[in-house]
Amino acid sequence: MWISAYIAITSYGAGRPSRDSACLREFPMPYLNRKNPLITGTIILTVTGFASRFIGFFYRIFLSRIFGAEGMGLYQLTSPVLALSFSLTVAGMQTAISKYVVRETATKDYRDSFSHLFVGFVISMIVSVLCTVGIYCYADEIALYFLLEERTAPLLRIISLSIPMATVHSCINGYFYGIKKTAVPSLCQLSEQIVRVGSVYIIYYLCLQRGLTPTISFAVVGLVIGEGASMIVSLIAVKAHFEHVLPKNYGALLSLSRGAFGSISARLMRLAVPLSLNRVIINFLQSVEAIFIPNRLMAYGYDHASALSAYGILTGMALPLILFPSAITGSICVLLLPVVSEAEATGNRRTIQKAVHKSVRYGFGLGILFTAMFLFFGRFLGMLLYQNELAGSFIMILGFLCPLMYIASTLTSILNGLGKTGLTFAYSMISLVVRLLFVFFLIPVTGINGYLWGLLASQLVQTLLCLFSARHYY
């Protein structure tokens, strides 16, 4: 979600939630106004982000205790395929939709914003259906030759069904992010978590009642059900939105000429294609990283089960806890992009300077706080939550990622808002190459610790590069 496909939450890919209001009070006017959507949106995303992370966190504890470290390893191995699918289908299009509908708040041109949403949705759905069919039909080959673990094949078939549903609510969320109405994406996120967790608990209970042995595939089924719930919520929300803003002329939204469709498609694709290609390349390398971690652990001396278990403990137990506090910074990353884009377009350099300054200041301070907490209580948390001593050791080491992640994630959003997407892509690539070097050359020598230090080294490199690029706004 972020480090392997799961780790795609900072540079590792894509995160949702938010940042504390105390920080946001110090953003300059007009973003300082309490009535401003930036403040409101951040609070909404922070609260729902924490709620969602809280539910998801204990859900992973439940999964780890029911299915064990090896089961978690299998579950995490499917993440690269899902991340690559998202990159192809909607990652770039969501950003493109968000960028082109931002004018709605000023112009009230609802038909134009709806047209961009509709065209982006159609394009993304075509690609998502192709991805679903491809993964479902070639699950055995993907599992055997790409993931190097044939037991993931049935999981891939199930998870492929979630791709079109995720595409629907991602496009709609992109629209609502663009018009700074964050309540809908927040509700989608929360409903997805609640329904996913609830469905897995119900399935697990029914299995126990009937004397059946639960498998990790139930967790994947829950993921699909959760995506379905999020899709339904987003569809209801977008329908209600347009019926509200155009109650007497709602049908006019549906009229779109072939020429207009082509023009909007070209406009969206000019932005979405480079972003999607960037994400595909990054997620592919992250997938290689995730797949080869167990492989290189076996080169160090682990047997297959132990290597998969170590990978499951790292990505399914330790990292979720480390990433849990990022709910404080995640939503500001989402909201900073349109804010900074607007400031850049209007020549408001002071707003950008303030955003950079506060991102570094609060990111570092908050990161140090959580680093100290994980350093002193890591072993205790590992035993308390997962009953696993190795998870505690991982937590202690990975805690040093926190200040680096928080600074890099917010600065990356600012740089993207300034149109420097090429730079952020290059920095992500450099970070990934550093991690891959550690995976291929250090893990066989030092074991899993080699990868932990690789994570720290790569995140440090990316943070320093982001700081260097933002130096003109200090």
CA dihedral 342, 344, 350, 352 (to 10 degrees): 80
Helix (H, G, I), strand (E, B) or coil at 18: strand
Residue 17 has pLDDT above 50, yes or no: no
Q: How many CB atoms lie within 10 A of CB 180?
A: 18
* Alpha-carbon Rg for the chain in angstroms: 22
Rounded (to 5) percent helix, strand, coil in the chain: 85, 0, 15
The yes-or-no verdict on residue 18 having pLDDT over 60 is no
231, two tokens: 């899709």
- pLDDT digits 0-9 by tens, 409-436: 888 878 877 878 788 888 988 999 999 9
What residues pair up with 330 in beta bridges, in sequence order?
Answer: 18
End-to-end CA distance of the chain: 30
Q: Is pLDDT at 437 greater than 90 in this prediction?
A: yes
| Residue 114 reports pLDDT greater than 70 | yes
- The domain segmentation of the chain, as residue ranges, is 21-473
Could you report the per-residue pLDDT of 76-87, keeping only the tens digit for each? 888 888 888 988
- CA dist., res. 15 & res. 11, Å (int): 9
Summarize the confidence of residues 197-206 as an average pLDDT. 89
Side chain identity at residue 72, one-letter code? M
